[in-house]
Structure 1
Amino acid sequence: MSEPRLTNTALYLQRLGFDAPPAPTLENLSRLQLRHTGAFPFENLTTLSGEPVLIDLPSIEQKVLHDGRGGYCYELNKLFLALLQELGFDARAISGRVVMGQPEGAWTARTHRLSLLTIDDVRYITDVGFGGMVPTAPLLLDSRGEQLTPHEPYRIEQHVDGYTLRANVDGEWRAMYIFDLQRQEDIDFTVGNWYVSTHPGSSFAERLMVARTGEGWRRTLNNGSFAIHRIGEDSERRQVADVSELIELLEREFGIRVPEHAQLKCTLERLIDLTDG
């Protein structure tokens, strides 16, 4: 049985600023990735509502393109990969282990989805679903040097088990995630998504995480802590006072149409007083 295709490619491209399908070039991939991280926010409201996170393509397309929502890696990167393949890019899904914030050398569960592309025999990774540190440009897989993006510089280290993606944050090369090129099927992502969205120890089940990029800035929301990070400047931070302000901020700063959901509202009220360290 073949994978469902996008049902509204024109709308998707329009949201990304394209009036017609762009050619499958590196330049257009760079535009698509940068615009995607600005147009479609990273968010985990569905998990916090207690509802299942559906990662079949029709459900993701409905949620992100029609319901005014964003999503996390299993949603955003699946949707983006479907678009890239529709446009003629040679692309496939791969997976990784998030180690951001972990001790150096940590080995975590395989719970991140991203994509591998080949353009003119050169390999790249592309990722539009990595929260507040999402790369905003495709990255050369087989280069070990510093790679500039519209936001932070990144670099990819190769080791015996695969690769480590690092970002330069405040002058320090911090590990983001470990990944390899092993073939992945829908069942692999189903297992990872189930763990991320339901396991009581998953950060996605215990705190609000929202992010969006723009020209020279990143916006993040961790529980009730809202921040605007401007490249080369000090971050602006403030604490959200109550759930009404939180919902208004989600809509104004992140473009999220917050669903009317009793359990979600109760969860947000509980989380709002927890300051993300």
Structure 2
Amino acid sequence: MEIEKILKRIEIFDKPSKINISLDNLTKLQEAYILNVPYENLDFVFKKEFSVNILKIYEKIVCNYRGGICYESNTLFMYLLKNLGFDVQMIFAKVEDITYIGADYPHLALLVTIDNKQYLVDVANGQNVRVPLCLNEDKIVKSEDIEYKLKKINEEEFALMFNHKYKGWQTRYIFTKEKKSVSDFSGIFENTKNYKQFSNYAPLLVTKALENGRVTLTDDTMTYKKDDHKRVWEISLENRAEVLRDYFNIEI
């Protein structure tokens, strides 16, 4: 696996040796990944088991220009950060909306430490905060016209919050700082009864951030939002491959 190819995949053309350890560069890398690698669960449609093997993730996302779910994209992003010299670890989160992940599956996110400060980093949670959030700062940031912040629940738990237009501040997910590894979730996609049942009814979701918006494909609907303009239209099964190619650069 080549770090240069991972950087090229997210349209960063700096040499790895030129990317020093800083919050600015972490922010740049996170935003670049989110803008270029969609969250997508197409393998449910293909009846293909996901893999958390880093070589297979690299082949899928970097070589085949696909996207991935949280276990794939955050694993690849952690590999990239580690090879660039960042102090990063995997953590688990409990997502409030379990439509696309299922109640039995913890969400995988990352915790990055820079200058003794810890930052929540997540490149695979659909419409979500696009920048690192410091665990010790009560800071509000805006992504896609939605405000986000972190809330400390107790000494062990934190919540990623978003400001709902009508309901006020709501919980996106709750996480702890407990360090996780691939072995903690490698069995999720094995031939288990729960996974088979979930993968059979999980709705299709392919979504990618734009500079000032988002493009999203579900089972039969396409949504394109940019700036103040939003368009929604129906997609037939026959047109799905064309849509994936034209809007997500995914060749099926």
Give the TM-score range, shorter chain: 0.7 to 0.9
1:68-103 per-position Cα deviation (integer Å, ceiling 9, x unaligned): 21110000000000000000001111011110379x
Cα RMSD (Å) of the superposition?
2.4
1:117-158 per-position Cα deviation (integer Å, ceiling 9, x unaligned): 111111101111102x13211111122332234753211111
Q: Which amino acid aligns with 2:163?
A: N
Q: 1:191 to 1:185 in 2, by over 3 A?
A: same
Which residue in the other structure is 1:10 paired with? 4
- Output the TM-score relative to the length of structure 1: 0.80
Q: Does 1:40 align with 2:37?
A: yes
For structure 2, which runs of at least 5 residues remain unmatched after alignment?
Answer: none
| 1:227 match: secondary structure | strand
Q: 1:236 to 1:246 in 2, by over 3 A?
A: same
Q: Which amino acid aligns with 2:147?
A: P
Q: 1:122 to 1:116 in 2, by over 3 A?
A: same
Which residue in the other structure is 1:52 paired with? 49
Which residue in the other structure is 1:263 paired with? none
Which residue in the other structure is 1:210 paired with? 206
Tell me how far apart the structure 2 counterparts of residues 85 and 145 of structure 1 sit (CA, whole Å): 26
The 5 Å alignment of 1:1-277 reads: 7-16=1-10, 17-21=12-16, 22-100=19-97, 108-131=103-126, 133-149=127-143, 152-160=146-154, 162-170=157-165, 172-194=168-190, 198-201=195-198, 205-231=201-227, 233=228, 235-240=230-235, 242-258=236-252
Tell me how far apart the structure 2 counterparts of residues 237 and 8 of structure 1 sit (CA, whole Å): 38
| 1:200 match: secondary structure | helix
Tell me how far apart the structure 2 counterparts of residues 196 and 228 of structure 1 sit (CA, whole Å): 36
Tell me how far apart the structure 1 counterparts of residues 6 and 163 of structure 2 sit (CA, whole Å): 31
Tell me how far apart the structure 1 counterparts of residues 68 and 151 of structure 2 sit (CA, whole Å): 28
| 2:48 match: secondary structure | coil
Tell me how far apart the structure 2 counterparts of residues 198 and 109 of structure 1 sit (CA, whole Å): 9
User: Is the CA contact 2:128–2:143 (under 8 Å) kept in the aligned structure 1?
Assistant: no
Q: 1:205 to 1:64 in 2, by over 3 A?
A: farther
| 1:116 match: secondary structure | strand
Report how far residue 196 of structure 1 moved. Answer: 11
- Output the TM-score relative to the length of structure 2: 0.88
User: Is the CA contact 1:48–1:208 (under 8 Å) kept in the aligned structure 2?
Assistant: yes
Tell me how far apart the structure 1 counterparts of residues 86 and 60 of structure 2 sit (CA, whole Å): 24
Report how far residue 188 of structure 1 moved. Answer: 1.4
Tell me how far apart the structure 1 counterparts of residues 218 and 116 of structure 2 sit (CA, whole Å): 40
For structure 1, which runs of at least 5 residues remain unmatched after alignment?
Answer: 1-6, 103-107, 259-277
Q: Which amino acid aligns with 2:233?
A: R
